[in-house]
C-alpha cells in the first residue's frame, strides 16, 4: 500500500481529543467558520457531489445525490445521524464518537447547513454509554461556544442537536426503521417510496447519514474534492452503475488475528493486506480459513478469496453482498463453519422485526434447521432447503420491505456453497443413519435435549 496519512483517526491518540479545546487546537471548526462566511449551502452540496463521497453506513449511496433529493419547499427539514452501529464486528463509529466527537459534530453542522436542516436527531446505539457521555459533553461545549443554537457564529444559520438513545435492535440501523423508532413507534421499516428525503421524520423531508459519512464531509470541506478523489478506486467506465470508491475508510478487523482494531486506509485495500499490514497476521501461527468482509450481512469469503479488494464493488465479485461496514472478522483453520452459520442464523432470527413474512419465517426456519444439524440430527437435504430460503428472501428477489433478509441470506448462501463438503461431512458423521432421510422430521425439542 502506498504511503497514506490518516485524517479521520489523526487525533484519537491525544489525551484531549474528545474536548473542544483539543479539537480547536488541531484546527477544528475552522472549516465551519470559513463555510459560513464564504459558501452558500449549494456550494457545499456541489462540493460533496463532486467528491463522489458514498455513504459509509453500508449501502454506499452517493451522499451529495442523496442530499439533492430533498424536498426543500417543505419545512422544517430534519437531519438524522445514524449512530446505531449494530452490525457484528463493527466499531468504527464508536471510535469516532468516543475519541473525536467534535469531528462528527462539525460534519453534522456542515451537512445541515448544506441541506437546510435546522434540527438534528443524533440516534445513538443504546449499548454505547461511553459514546453517549462523550457526545453529550461535546454538544454542550458547542452550545457554549456558539457552534450550535441560534445564529451560529453570527450567521443566519441555526441548528439544534438532540441525542436519542436507540431501541437496542439491529433493525433500527435501517433508516426508516430508525425514523419509526425515533417517533416512538415499533421500528418497522417503511415501504418506499416515499423516501425520507420526501417524507421522513414526522413526515417531513429528512436526511439520514452515518457517523463516518459526516466525518468525511468535514474532511472534504477542509481539504477539497480533488484531495478526496486522489485516493481509492476510480469508477469503472464500462459499468455505468459503478460510481467509484473514493476517499479514506475506517476498517475494523477482529477475530483470529494478532492486533484487532480500527484502522484507516484508502478504499480498495485487500482483505489480505488488512490482515497482514494492520492486523499483524492470523494469530498463534495458524492459517486462515475464512473471513467476513464487512459485517455478517455481507456474507463470507474463503481463504483463497482474500485478494478481494475492500471497496464498494469488490466483495460483489466474490459472491458477497458488498462492502457493508468494512468490518472484517477473520476465522482460523480450527473454526467450524457449521458453528459459524448457526450463530449467523441465530442472530438474524432474533433481530428480524417480523413485519415481512418471508424474513420472519425464513430466518426462523433456517435457524431451526441449523439447530437440528448442530445437534447431530441433520439431513443432507436440509442444506438445499436452507439455500432455497437464502435465494428466496430479501429486497433483491423482491419479497421484503428492507434489506435485513438479504443480510440474513448471504451467510447461508456463502457458507454452504463455499464450504459444502464440510457441512455434508459433518451431517454424515453426526447422523449416519438419518443423513439421507427425505421425509419430514419433527422439530428439535431444545428444552428436552438440554
Tens digit of each residue's pLDDT (9 = 90 or more) over 94-125? 999 999 999 999 999 999 999 999 999 999 99
Burial category of 325 from C-beta neighbours within 10 Å (exposed 0-12, middle 13-18, buried 19 and up): buried
Place of cell 420491505: 401
CA distances from 207 to 31, 37, 63, 65, 332 (A): 21, 24, 10, 11, 40
Q: At residue 283, does pLDDT exceed 80?
A: yes
Long-range contacts of 436-445 (CB under 8 A, 24+ apart): 436/379, 436/380, 437/379, 437/381, 438/379, 438/381, 441/372, 441/377, 441/379, 443/368, 443/372, 444/368, 444/371, 444/372, 444/375, 444/377
Mapping DSSP to helix (H, G, I), strand (E, B) and coil, where does residue 303 land? Answer: helix
Q: At residue 2, does pLDDT exceed 80?
A: no
For 398, residues 6+ apart whose C-beta sits below 8 A from its C-beta are none
What does the alpha-carbon distance between residue 118 and residue 105 come to, in Å, rounded to a whole number? 14
In this prediction, residues 14-34 reach a mean pLDDT of 96
Taking each helix axis from N to C end, the angle separating 101-115 and 129-145, rounded to the nearest 10 degrees, works out to 60
pLDDT-derived band at 450, boundaries 50, 70, 90: very low
What does the alpha-carbon distance between residue 64 and residue 390 come to, in Å, rounded to a whole number? 33
Place of cell 464508536: 94
Q: Give, as one character, the DSSP assignment of residue 352.
A: -
Q: At residue 87, does pLDDT exceed 50?
A: yes
In this prediction, residues 202-220 reach a mean pLDDT of 97
pLDDT-derived band at 446, boundaries 50, 70, 90: low
User: Are 283 and 256 a contacting pair, CB within 8 Å?
Assistant: yes
- 328-369 tens-digit pLDDT: 999 999 999 999 999 999 999 999 999 999 999 999 999 999
Task: Supply 279's cell numbers.
Answer: 492486523
What does the alpha-carbon distance between residue 250 and residue 326 come to, in Å, rounded to a whole number? 7
Task: Supply 71's cell numbers.
Answer: 424536498
Q: At residue 447, does pLDDT exceed 70?
A: no
Q: At residue 193, does pLDDT exceed 80?
A: yes
pLDDT-derived band at 442, boundaries 50, 70, 90: confident
Task: Supply 41's cell numbers.
Answer: 449551502
What does the alpha-carbon distance between residue 142 and residue 13 come to, in Å, rounded to a whole number? 22
Cis preceding-peptide flag for 126 (omega within 30 of 0): no
More confident residue, 59 or 94: 94
Q: At residue 416, does pLDDT exceed 70?
A: yes
User: Are 279 and 270 a contacting pair, CB within 8 Å?
Assistant: no
Task: Supply 308's cell numbers.
Answer: 478481494
Distance between alpha carbon 64 and the CA centroid of its chain, in Å? Answer: 18
Helix runs in 169-244, H state only = 175-182, 211-223, 225-229
- Residue 421's pLDDT is what? 98
User: Are 77 and 200 a contacting pair, CB within 8 Å?
Assistant: no
Cis preceding-peptide flag for 18 (omega within 30 of 0): no
Distance between alpha carbon 179 and the CA centroid of its chain, in Å? Answer: 17
> Domains of the chain (ranges plus CATH)?
20-230 (3.40.50.11540), 245-332 (3.10.20.600), 337-443 (1.20.1440.230)
Place of cell 469516532: 96
Amino acid at each position: 500500500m502506498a504511503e497514506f496519512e490518516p485524517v479521520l483517526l489523526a487525533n484519537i491518540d491525544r489525551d484531549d481529543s474528545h474536548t473542544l479545546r483539543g479539537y480547536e487546537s488541531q484546527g477544528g471548526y475552522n472549516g465551519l467558520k470559513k463555510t459560513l462566511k464564504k459558501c452558500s449551502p449549494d456550494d457545499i452540496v456541489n462540493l460533496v457531489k463532486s467528491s463522489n463521497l458514498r455513504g459509509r453506513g453500508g449501502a454506499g449511496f452517493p451522499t451529495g445525490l442523496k442530499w439533492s433529493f430533498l424536498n426543500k419547499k417543505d419545512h422544517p427539514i430534519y437531519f438524522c445521524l445514524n449512530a446505531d452501529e449494530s452490525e457484528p464486528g463493527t466499531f468504527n463509529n464508536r471510535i469516532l464518537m468516543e475519541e473525536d466527537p467534535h469531528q462528527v459534530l462539525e460534519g453534522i453542522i456542515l451537512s445541515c447547513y448544506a441541506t437546510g436542516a435546522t434540527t438534528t436527531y443524533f440516534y445513538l446505539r443504546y449499548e454505547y454509554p461511553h459514546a453517549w457521555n462523550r457526545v453529550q459533553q461535546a454538544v454542550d461545549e458547542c452550545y457554549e461556544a456558539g457552534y450550535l443554537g441560534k445564529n451560529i457564529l453570527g450567521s443566519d444559520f441555526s441548528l439544534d442537536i438532540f441525542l436519542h438513545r436507540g431501541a437496542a435492535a439491529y433493525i433500527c440501523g435501517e433508516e426508516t426503521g430508525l425514523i419509526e423508532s425515533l417517533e416512538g413507534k415499533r421500528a418497522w421499516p417503511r415501504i418506499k417510496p416515499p423516501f425520507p428525503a420526501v417524507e421522513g421524520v414526522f413526515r417531513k423531508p429528512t436526511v439520514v447519514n452515518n457517523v463516518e459519512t459526516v466525518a468525511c464531509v468535514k474532511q472534504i470541506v477542509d481539504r477539497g474534492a480533488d484531495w478526496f478523489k486522489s485516493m481509492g478506486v476510480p469508477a469503472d467506465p464500462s459499468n455505468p452503475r459503478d460510481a467509484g470508491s473514493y476517499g479514506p475508510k475506517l476498517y475494523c478487523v477482529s477475530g483470529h488475528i494478532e492486533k484487532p482494531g480500527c484502522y484507516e486506509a484508502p478504499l480498495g485495500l485487500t482483505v489480505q493486506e488488512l490482515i497482514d499490514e494492520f492486523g499483524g497476521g492470523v494469530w498463534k501461527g495458524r492459517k486462515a480459513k475464512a473471513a467476513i468482509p464487512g459485517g455478517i450481512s455481507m456474507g463470507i469469503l474463503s481463504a483463497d478469496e482474500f485478494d478481494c479488494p475492500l471497496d464498494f464493488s469488490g466483495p460483489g465479485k466474490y459472491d458477497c453482498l458488498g462492502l457493508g461496514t468494512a468490518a472484517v472478522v477473520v476465522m482460523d483453520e480450527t473454526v467450524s463453519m457449521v458453528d459459524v452459520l448457526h450463530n449467523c442464523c441465530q442472530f438474524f432470527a432474533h433481530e428480524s422485526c417480523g413485519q415481512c413474512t418471508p424474513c420472519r419465517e425464513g430466518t426462523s426456519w433456517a435457524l431451526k434447521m441449523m439447530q437440528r444439524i448442530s445437534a447431530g440430527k441433520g439431513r443432507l437435504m436440509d442444506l438445499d432447503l436452507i439455500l432455497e430460503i437464502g435465494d428466496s428472501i430479501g429486497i433483491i428477489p423482491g419479497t421484503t420491505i428492507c434489506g435485513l433478509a438479504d443480510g440474513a441470506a448471504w451467510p447461508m448462501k456463502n457458507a454452504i456453497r463455499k464450504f459444502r463438503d464440510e457441512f455434508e461431512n459433518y451431517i454424515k458423521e453426526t447422523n449416519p443413519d438419518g443423513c439421507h432421510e427425505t421425509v419430514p422430521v419433527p422439530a428439535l425439542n431444545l428444552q428436552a435435549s438440554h
